[in-house]
Amino acid sequence: MKLNIPILLMTMRDGAVSDQAAQFVQRQLVSRGVESVIVDPEDYHEKKSFEQEHVQPWSEIMKAADALVIVSPEYNHSMPGPGKEMLDTLYEEYEKKPVAICGVSSGTLGGARVIEHLKTVMIELKMVAIREAMYFAKARELFNEDGTIKDASYEQWMDKMFTELFWYAHVLKAGREGKIDVGL
């Protein structure tokens, strides 16, 4: 079964390195036979906020999704507002779906603190945050212009993260579709 896993980009900052990280993650997903689009908050942002009527395409993307990948830079030890507002516009669409988080930072921690913050938000959204994550440290020097990565060792970590994410995507999908009898 072909999985469908969108990528939510959390920032709208001009020239954000997270754009390149998201492109890298998307290529990795597509090369594993997964259907994946990058969801950019900039495409949904109206003058004042992310109005419900304008986020309909995002709602449709998440309804069809088997899992989600979040690519987030760390801003002041937490998540950027635009991505958080995008997350806040939906609810049922996320339920019982797994999520993997990729942190991006110019420092050495690779967004470790924003990853931990996002995990607690995922619980509230009834998503299943997996342990495996990507820590894109020193990100400003890590990516080539075309979204490829300079340090190939990240691809091995990505393999581990996707193996876990795909397992949950298949199992939770079967559960949501009532194919697993849990006796409830």
Ligand X SMILES: Cc1cc2nc3c(=O)[nH]c(=O)nc-3n(C[C@H](O)[C@H](O)[C@H](O)COP(=O)(O)O)c2cc1C
Say whether residue 84 binds ligand X (CB under 6 A).
no
| Cβ proximity of 154 and 134 under 8 Å | yes
Q: What CA–CA distance (Å, rounded) separates 52 from 32?
A: 33
Among the candidate windows 16-24, 85-93, 123-131, 165-173, which touches ligand X by CB under 6 A?
Answer: 16-24
Q: Which of 3, 7, 8, 17 binds ligand X (CB under 6 A)?
A: 17
Say whether residue 11 binds ligand X (CB under 6 A).
yes
- Count other Cβ atoms within 10 Å, centred on residue 63: 11
| Cβ proximity of 12 and 41 under 8 Å | yes
* Residues 111-150 within binding reach of ligand X (CB under 6 A): 139-140
Among the candidate windows 10-18, 117-125, 144-152, 153-161, which touches ligand X by CB under 6 A?
Answer: 10-18
Q: Which of 3, 7, 16, 34 binds ligand X (CB under 6 A)?
A: 16
* Alpha-carbon distances, residue 131 vs 3, 30, 64, 101, 141 (angstroms): 20, 22, 23, 9, 26
Tell me the three state secondary structure of residue 135. Answer: strand
Say whether residue 71 binds ligand X (CB under 6 A).
no
- Count other Cβ atoms within 10 Å, centred on residue 45: 17
Tell me the three state secondary structure of residue 130. Answer: strand
Q: Minimum CB separation from ligand X for residue 26, in Å? A: 15
Say whether residue 67 binds ligand X (CB under 6 A).
no
Tokens, residue 182: 């849990």
Say whether residue 40 binds ligand X (CB under 6 A).
no
Say whether residue 107 binds ligand X (CB under 6 A).
yes
Say whether residue 77 binds ligand X (CB under 6 A).
yes
Residues that bind ligand X (CB under 6 A): 11, 13, 16-18, 73-77, 104-107, 139-140
